Structure 1
Amino acid sequence: MASFQRRGKTWQYTVSRTVNGKQKPLRKGGFRTKKEAQVAAAEVEADLRKGVVPQLTAIPFSDYFESWLNTFKTDIANNTLERYFNSLQVIKEHFGDLPIQEINKRSYQAFLNEYGQTHAKASSRKLNTHIRACVRDAIDEGMIRVDFTRDAVFTGDAGKKSSEKHLGYEDSKRLLQLIHKRLDISMTYYLLLLAITSGMRFGELVGLTRKDFNFFNNTINIDKSWGYTKSMHEGFGPTKNEDSVRLVKMDAETMNVFKQLFKSTPDNIYQLIFYSPSSKYNVISNSAANKVLIGMLDQLGTNRITVHGLRHTHASVLLYQGVSVYYVSKRLGHSDIDTTLNTYSHVIKEMEQRDEQKSADVFQKMLV
């Protein structure tokens, strides 16, 4: 049962509650009208009937996000963790001590709009991804009731077009053929070969050891990464997330190339495939790999992409060839399929147009 009191210019509700035989009412004030207090009290009573004790103490959003980060993000790679802390800094700078309970869809959208004025749209989307995960847990904990990140609109510089981050099928084919012709030049070409045929992240590639290769089943086990920048872990470390631990089925030709490589080259102290003793981080550097890749792309007369772009190329080629987006998501080690759908929306849209005509043709052919 709730009661209502006017306190100065605002209203307060008091909801009766008994805990272990003792009265422990819930009170909250600051409502502009009695009606607002009644609505809020009704929500509290509904929660209590479900066995949920509402969180009435205002907690700054930045404090909650930091606590959430330190509690739920303890098993992610250092460079990924650093991105979360960057998001925390953005939250602190914009929201200050504003309680999470006082943020609504309108004020949150205004925050994203302001952020988008000086950042790329992809950065706005990534920031929202971090905040959305936190907000959903806050709802589960009874801190707030509404997901103010739902249906958020992203603004900002479009950045590089998605179609420019990967190669098309024909260019991919030409690049793959050129890589095979240059394998005897240096180990960097072996790395690029594996990048385009497996879709691995760079840290996963340079973290591979010989025991990860199963030549009987033509699979590669991915369960670790190697730190190749100062913001990453030193040496071996975890993959980006739990879903990144996976077994990737490879084509027989690529596996045979590495089988012959292992027979003709000695192992090293770390058992790393792409060991480079002259490199600061003991593996082929990302910049060196990009330099070799760009040289080949220029020779082929096609768009320049990065080694990470080979990962996008790998996924795009599979999707264009009709491979299920669900399998591609699993193969890439994405934490959820939304990541895959967002990253390759341009490819999926083109596939939908193709499948639209295909669907119409199915029943047309049944009458022929």
Structure 2
Amino acid sequence: MGRSKKNVNGSGSTRKKGNIYEYRFYDNSGVRHSKYAKTQEELKEVIRKVSMQLYNGDFKAKSTLTFQDIYKDIIEEKKSNNIIKENTYMRHIELLKILQRFNFANIKIQRMQSSDIKTLYANIQRNNYSQSVIDKINIAINQVLNKSIELNIISKNFNTGIIKPRSNKKTKDVTAFTIEEQKKLLNIIDNSRYKIIYLIALYTGLRIGEINALTLRDIDLNNRVIHVNKTVTKNINNQTIVGEVGKTTNATRNVTIIDILYLPLYNYIKDLNITDFNALVFTNSKGLVLSTSAINSEFKRLNKKYNFCNNSVNVHMLRHTFATRCIESGITPVVLKDILGHADIKTTLNTYTSVFSEFKNTEISKLENYIKTNINDVMGV
């Protein structure tokens, strides 16, 4: 083994190991590194590049960390600091599974290139993932790459400048029950053990997960209000649990118990005969948290048996039916947004575009009648 030689500028030392030249140096944090070259000319170029990187603060130590390693670290830190709850954490885990499916999660950060991200986006788009998934992936990539810059693993965000694709997946039209279908449902609803759950969804617009998470304390019969502050979700072991908050900050809200719902809800709670205000109002046969899938399965069986709707059904249609009846009755989008717990008015307008459009002519008729009554006489019409 050759003798070590100190560089003239004192920034490191070189030595020859057999036919290979080694350059030893310390980074700006005092950590020692080695770079290798086959010839003296290559060695000079290595020394020049490293010296320039150290001078500019651009030197990056070799790292084996993958996208998945850093993403998990980010979400684990947020979870431990109570920034995100169990249900949000699980959504991140599900997103990571999608990235694993396309062999993106295990790419080493230092080997990642813009082409890797473009390939991922193309695969996601080709497989008809929703725009929501594409948006979440884009956010995750930026979080990981920015964290990697912070950790001095890379020097730039490869996602910057890459155009986020639009989903090829067609947006599903909101499906609500017609008034006739709703009447048929109400006529046979007594045959279901989940009758009161369906009624709450139909007359408040609560999500089934929000209903199943209600405790006795959440239902204020005196003031006729339901306090929505939790939802049913899955934990990392795929067990159904009650999460602490809903999907958005606006998901925590108070919803009015209208007259048609009050009496059946009052009687149901009275018959429960429970005194623990923290007890769940709805549970399965074992007294455990009731899952949305259990309600949905029973709802489908109910329709198969009684045929209250000719099309396929799901329990989320109850929420859409409530919203549709609200629009038909003249409730404004701003008020509906708050009732449904949407994050912003855009969500409400985009979700129920077809319903609002359907009643546009009705609203225009109101304007015409108003003008005829109050303005036409001035114009001599």
Identify the TM-score tier after normalising by the shorter chain.
0.5 to 0.7
List alignment gaps of at least 5 residues for structure 1.
1-6, 17-22, 30-56
Mapped partners of 2:116, 2:349: distance in 1: 27
Mapped partners of 2:298, 2:92: distance in 1: 30
Deviation at 1:66, TM superposition (A): 2.5
**Which residue of structure 1 lines up, in the alignment, with residue 107 of structure 2?**
97
Mapped partners of 1:228, 1:102: distance in 2: 32
- The one-letter code of the counterpart of 2:56 is P
Find the partner of 1:351 among 339, 353, 356: 356
> Within the alignment, does 1:253 sit opposite 2:260 as a pair?
yes
Deviation at 1:213, TM superposition (A): 1.6
Find the partner of 2:231 among 207, 225, 229: 225
Q: Does structure 1 conserve the Cα–Cα contact (< 8 Å) formed by 2:337 and 2:344?
A: yes
CA deviation vs aligned residue, 1:182-216 (integer Å, no higher than 9, x gap):
44x55411111112222223232122122212223
Larger radius of gyration: 2
Q: Aligned-residue CA RMSD in angstroms?
A: 4.6
Deviation at 1:70, TM superposition (A): 2.1
How do residues 2-151 of structure 1 correspond to structure 2 at under 5 angstroms? 25-27=56-58, 60-72=66-78, 75=82, 76=84, 78-92=86-100, 93-95=102-104, 96-97=106-107, 99=109, 104=114, 108-117=117-126, 119-122=127-130, 125-135=131-141, 137=143, 151=164
**Which residue of structure 2 lines up, in the alignment, with residue 170 of structure 1?**
179
Q: Does structure 2 conserve the Cα–Cα contact (< 8 Å) formed by 1:228 and 1:281?
A: no
Q: Does structure 1 conserve the Cα–Cα contact (< 8 Å) formed by 2:207 and 2:316?
A: yes
Mapped partners of 1:360, 1:186: distance in 2: 41
Mapped partners of 2:235, 2:91: distance in 1: 14
1:285–1:236 distance in 2 versus 1, CA, 3 Å: closer
Q: Does structure 2 conserve the Cα–Cα contact (< 8 Å) formed by 1:341 and 1:348?
A: yes
Identity %: 16
1:248–1:308 distance in 2 versus 1, CA, 3 Å: same
- The one-letter code of the counterpart of 1:348 is T
Name the SS for the 2:214 alignment partner: coil
Name the SS for the 2:307 alignment partner: helix
- The one-letter code of the counterpart of 1:154 is S
Q: Does structure 2 conserve the Cα–Cα contact (< 8 Å) formed by 1:167 and 1:303?
A: no
1:28–1:198 distance in 2 versus 1, CA, 3 Å: same
Mapped partners of 1:218, 1:173: distance in 2: 24
Name the SS for the 2:194 alignment partner: helix
Mapped partners of 2:293, 2:347: distance in 1: 24
> Within the alignment, does 1:205 sit opposite 2:211 as a pair?
yes
Deviation at 1:312, TM superposition (A): 3.2
Higher alpha-carbon deviation: 308-317 or 289-298: 289-298
Mapped partners of 1:324, 1:170: distance in 2: 20
Q: Does structure 1 conserve the Cα–Cα contact (< 8 Å) formed by 2:232 and 2:291?
A: no
Deviation at 1:220, TM superposition (A): 0.1
1:240–1:325 distance in 2 versus 1, CA, 3 Å: same
Mapped partners of 1:361, 1:128: distance in 2: 41
**Which residue of structure 2 lines up, in the alignment, with residue 274 of structure 1?**
282
**Which residue of structure 2 lines up, in the alignment, with residue 237 of structure 1?**
243
> Within the alignment, does 1:310 sit opposite 2:310 as a pair?
no
CA deviation vs aligned residue, 1:247-275 (integer Å, no higher than 9, x gap):
11231220222123333442277733223
Mapped partners of 1:240, 1:272: distance in 2: 16
Name the SS for the 2:103 alignment partner: helix
TM-score with structure 2 length normalisation?
Answer: 0.63
Q: Does structure 2 conserve the Cα–Cα contact (< 8 Å) formed by 1:202 and 1:286?
A: no
Q: Does structure 2 conserve the Cα–Cα contact (< 8 Å) formed by 1:109 and 1:153?
A: no
- The one-letter code of the counterpart of 1:252 is D
Mapped partners of 2:279, 2:315: distance in 1: 23
Mapped partners of 1:175, 1:155: distance in 2: 36
- The one-letter code of the counterpart of 1:177 is L
List alignment gaps of at least 5 residues for structure 2.
1-43, 151-155
Name the SS for the 2:187 alignment partner: helix
TM-score with structure 1 length normalisation?
Answer: 0.65
Find the partner of 1:155 among 146, 149, 168: 168
Q: Does structure 2 conserve the Cα–Cα contact (< 8 Å) formed by 1:206 and 1:225?
A: yes
Q: Does structure 2 conserve the Cα–Cα contact (< 8 Å) formed by 1:77 and 1:241?
A: no
CA deviation vs aligned residue, 1:3-36 (integer Å, no higher than 9, x gap):
xxxx97xx979999xxxxxx9633479xxxxxxx
